[in-house]
Amino acid sequence: MQKDGHVVAYIDGANLHKGIESQGWVLDYRRFRIWLREKHGVQDAYIFLGLIAKFSDLYRRLQEDGYILVFKEVVYDSSGKAKGNCDADLVLQVVRGFFEKKFEKALLVTSDGDYASLVRFY
C-alpha cells in the first residue's frame, strides 16, 4: 500500500561528504536533517556509508540526528585507501521502495552522475 505523501531521502554519504568538502565547506548534519524535513517533508532519511570502526562516534551522532544508517563493508585498495561503494545498495533500496510503494516521493542526495539511470527510471 502506498504511503500517501511519504517522502524518503536516499543519501550517498561519501558523495555528500566529498562534494561539500570540495567546496571548502563543513556540513552540519543535524541542521541538514532538519532542512530535509522542513523544506522537502522528508520523513525517512537513509544515509549509505562504508563501515569503518574509527567513525563510530559519527555514526552514533547521525542516528541521534534522525538518519537511518545503511552500511556497506569497506575494502581497501593497494595504497590503503578505504572504499565502501554503496551505489548498488542505494539503487536497490530505492527500486525496492518504489515497487513496494513505500513512498510517494524520493529525494536523492549525491554529488555525481552515478545515479542518472535511476533518476531516468523513476
For the whole model, what pTM was predicted?
0.88
Between 11 and 117, the higher pLDDT residue = 11
Sign, Cα dihedral of 49, 55, 59, 61: negative
Mean of per-residue pLDDT scores for the chain: 90
pLDDT (average), residues 53-70: 96
pLDDT reading at 29 higher than 70: yes
Measured CA to CA in angstroms, residue 77 lies from 15, 80, 85, 116 at distances of 18, 5, 12, 26
Q: Is 109:10 a contact under the CB 8 Å cutoff?
A: yes
pLDDT confidence tier of residue 57, bands split at 50, 70 and 90: very high
Query: For the chain, what is the total number of helices (H) and then of strands (E)?
Result: 5, 6
